[in-house]
């Protein structure tokens, strides 16, 4: 069989621990035999980040800005234990945080739905994607403990002098607490744009929710920015694509989700997204079956698994013990990136390959061959438990038969 060629490279970001091991298996067994893989390789493994003073992460982001599509392996976000383990020069920032900040992107978390791994909510038939606004609100809050009676005020002092505003937050009769939050129009606009674009891209309805009835200025601003952008730039495009934009209160959205069948995107404010994405991923079965796409309003895409480097399994692997780590989310990061590369380059063969690799992966699980995390939750009778490598080889067998 002739290998599929690529005109434009993907930005490939390697990572750490168990996922770094899976990364190589996936490339060697599922990609390279079929695709003349063309990537710009950046090693974001912690060792290399430390050696380069984290410049490698910045270089990778610049490459994403140049080529538009990236695939990333899970990476260690250092803490003090890692500083000792890797003799680090300093506690480097999370690469994902750096990438997100530089690309101004929104993260979409997408569950992989297969028969036999049933969502806890029985009517969920299709994936529910969560888009989380990743700036501000309680994550950049300012808090104060109030020890004794007194006034707390919110004061705005404009740089140009005129238009000062001041309001009383509360007159304290005794002790208490206070918190302030902020957000920025530009950040909300970027978020809204990424959501509308992603909905068009994936041909799914977009829901957006806040609590604007209670928060008449703050949350209402989110609602207005989405609404205005929709009317101005997306109403026609959505109509043509046969999808809808739907705004409702967050509590109404939560109630509706339980009755829905899935197949849509729920865009959330930062805190709602934090909470909802964990609820949705656990309800869909396993963190190992959750992929994630970072989409920037400038049209850059970065695909990855939602889980981490699976440290516990890696330490077993280092001791020479057998592991059964699920590579689905990492495989889907690759297929997502290859399909997007194919779309942008009008490379139909590459898109078809991505479709077939996903199909092969899903049908491997549906035929009863799976890793340990899924064996414990599947509704299939007599599943076959495979180790990390054999699971990938089982997918390869299916893939070869699909490719003829
Ligand atoms: P983790 O890697 O997500 O793994 C936590 C646990 O979830 C594992 O011990 C395993 O449970 C299960 N699990 C996750 N992915 C799995 C898979 N593919 N197959 C089977 N089981 C899977 O989280 P962590 O161990 O807390 O974090 C390890 C490192 O990852 C940390 O250094 C953290 O900074 C980093 N991290 C990176 C990213 C990222 O790059 N996007 C995201 C999160 C965390 P059992 O042990 O019970 O089998
Ligand atoms: Mg969370």
Q: What are phi and psi of 13, to 5 degrees?
A: -115, 110
Tell me which of 26-40, 228-242, 281-295 is least confident. 281-295
Q: 392 with 26: CB under 8 angstroms?
A: yes
The pLDDT score that the predictor gives to residue 28 is: 98
Q: Where are the beta strands (DSSP E) in 74-204?
A: 106-111, 128-132, 142-146, 150-156, 165-172, 176-180
Best residue among 307, 331, 373, 392 to mutate for probing ligand 1, ranked by most atoms within 8 Å of CB:
307
Ligand nearest to the CA of 45: 1
Helix (H) or strand (E) holding 81: helix 80-85
Report the C-alpha gap between 67 and 83 in whole angstroms: 33
Q: How far is the CA of 108 from the centre of ligand 2 (A)?
A: 13
How confident is the model over 54-109, as pLDDT tens digits? 999 999 999 999 999 999 999 999 999 999 999 999 999 999 989 988 888 899 99
* Beta-carbon contacts of residue 224 (< 8 Å; ≥ 6 apart): none
Banded model confidence at residue 326, pLDDT cuts 50, 70, 90:
very high
Q: Which of 195, 203, 217, 328 shows the shortest CA–CA distance to 273?
A: 195
How confident is the model over 31-45, as pLDDT tens digits? 999 999 999 999 999
- Average pLDDT score, the chain: 95
Taking the CA of residue 329 as reference, the ligand 1 atom at the shortest distance is: 18
Helix segments in 86-213, DSSP class H? 95-103, 185-202
Q: How far is the CA of 274 from the centre of ligand 1 (A)?
A: 17
pLDDT over threshold 90, residue 284: no
Q: Where are the beta strands (DSSP E) in 281-357?
A: 290-295, 301-305
Banded model confidence at residue 281, pLDDT cuts 50, 70, 90:
confident
The pLDDT score that the predictor gives to residue 287 is: 85
pLDDT over threshold 90, residue 1: no
Q: Which residues surround ligand 2, an ion (CB under 5 A)?
A: 274, 278
Mean pLDDT of 338-343: 97
Mean pLDDT of 382-396: 97
Mean pLDDT of 189-206: 95
| Closest Cα to atom 40 of ligand 1 | 74
Banded model confidence at residue 262, pLDDT cuts 50, 70, 90:
very high
pLDDT over threshold 90, residue 362: yes
Tell me which of 65-74, 251-260, 278-287 is least confident. 278-287
CA angle 244, 246, 251 (to 5 degrees): 150
pLDDT over threshold 90, residue 155: yes
- DSSP-derived secondary structure for 354-387: HHHHHHHHHHHHHTTEE-HHHHTT--SSSPEE--
The pLDDT score that the predictor gives to residue 348 is: 97
Taking the CA of residue 307 as reference, the ligand 1 atom at the shortest distance is: 3
The pLDDT score that the predictor gives to residue 282 is: 84
Instruction: Tokens for 248, please give them.
Output: 């409702």
Report the C-alpha gap between 287 and 306 in whole angstroms: 7
The pLDDT score that the predictor gives to residue 140 is: 86
The pLDDT score that the predictor gives to residue 285 is: 80
Measured from the CB, is residue 326 less than 6 Å from ligand 1? yes
The pLDDT score that the predictor gives to residue 114 is: 93
Check residues 97 and 182 and name the one with the higher pLDDT.
182
pLDDT over threshold 90, residue 169: yes
The pLDDT score that the predictor gives to residue 19 is: 98
Banded model confidence at residue 297, pLDDT cuts 50, 70, 90:
confident
Mean pLDDT of 384-399: 98
170-174: Cβ within 8 A, 24+ apart: 172/146, 172/148, 173/149, 174/148, 174/149
Burial class (CB in 10 A: 0-12, 13-18, 19+), 96: buried
pLDDT over threshold 90, residue 353: yes
pLDDT over threshold 80, residue 267: yes
Banded model confidence at residue 161, pLDDT cuts 50, 70, 90:
confident
Best residue among 85, 308, 387 to mutate for probing ligand 1, ranked by most atoms within 8 Å of CB:
308
Mean pLDDT of 115-142: 91
| Closest Cα to atom 26 of ligand 1 | 308
Mean pLDDT of 197-222: 96
Percent of the chain with pLDDT over 90: 88
């Amino acid at each position: 069989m002739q290998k599929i060629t690529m005109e434009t490279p993907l930005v490939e970001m390697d990572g750490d621990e168990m996922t770094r091991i899976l990364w190589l298996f996936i490339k060697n067994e599922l990609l390279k035999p079929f695709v003349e893989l063309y990537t710009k390789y950046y090693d974001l493994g912690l060792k290399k980040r430390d050696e380069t003073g984290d410049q490698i992460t910045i270089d990778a982001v610049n490459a994403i800005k140049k080529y538009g599509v990236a695939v990333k392996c899970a990476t260690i976000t250092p803490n003090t234990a890692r500083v000792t383990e890797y003799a680090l020069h300093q506690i480097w920032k999370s690469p994902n945080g750096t990438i997100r900040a530089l690309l101004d992107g929104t993260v979409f978390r997408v569950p992989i739905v297969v028969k036999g791994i049933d969502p806890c909510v029985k009517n969920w038939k299709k994936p529910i994607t969560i888009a989380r606004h990743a700036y501000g609100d309680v994550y950049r809050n300012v808090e104060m403990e109030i020890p004794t009676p007194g006034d707390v005020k919110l004061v705005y002092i404009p740089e140009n002098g005129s238009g000062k505003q001041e309001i009383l937050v509360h007159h304290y009769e005794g002790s208490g607490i206070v918190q302030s939050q902020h957000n920025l129009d530009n950040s909300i606009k970027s978020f809204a744009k990424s959501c509308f674009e992603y909905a068009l891209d994936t041909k799914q309805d977009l829901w957006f929710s806040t609590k604007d009835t209670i928060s008449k200025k703050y949350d209402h601003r989110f609602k207005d920015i989405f609404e205005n952008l929709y009317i101005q730039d997306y109403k026609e495009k959505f109509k043509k694509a046969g999808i809808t934009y739907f705004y409702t209160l967050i509590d109404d959205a939560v109630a509706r989700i339980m009755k829905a069948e899935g197949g849509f995107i729920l865009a959330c404010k930062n805190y709602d997204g934090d909470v909802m994405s964990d609820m949705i991923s656990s309800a869909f079965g396993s963190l190992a079956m959750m992929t994630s796409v970072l989409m920037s309003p400038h049209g850059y895409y970065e695909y990855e698994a939602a889980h981490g480097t699976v440290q516990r399994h890696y330490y077993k692997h280092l001791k020479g013990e057998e592991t059964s780590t699920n590579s689905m989310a990492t495989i889907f990061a690759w297929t997502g990136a290859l399909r997007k590369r194919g779309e942008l380059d009008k490379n139909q063969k590459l898109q078809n390959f991505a479709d077939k690799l996903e199909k092969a992966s899903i049908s491997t699980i549906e035929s009863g061959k799976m890793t340990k995390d899924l064996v414990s939750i599947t509704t299939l009778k007599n599943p076959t438990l495979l180790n990390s490598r054999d699971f990938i080889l089982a997918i390869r067998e299916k893939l070869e038969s699909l490719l003829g």
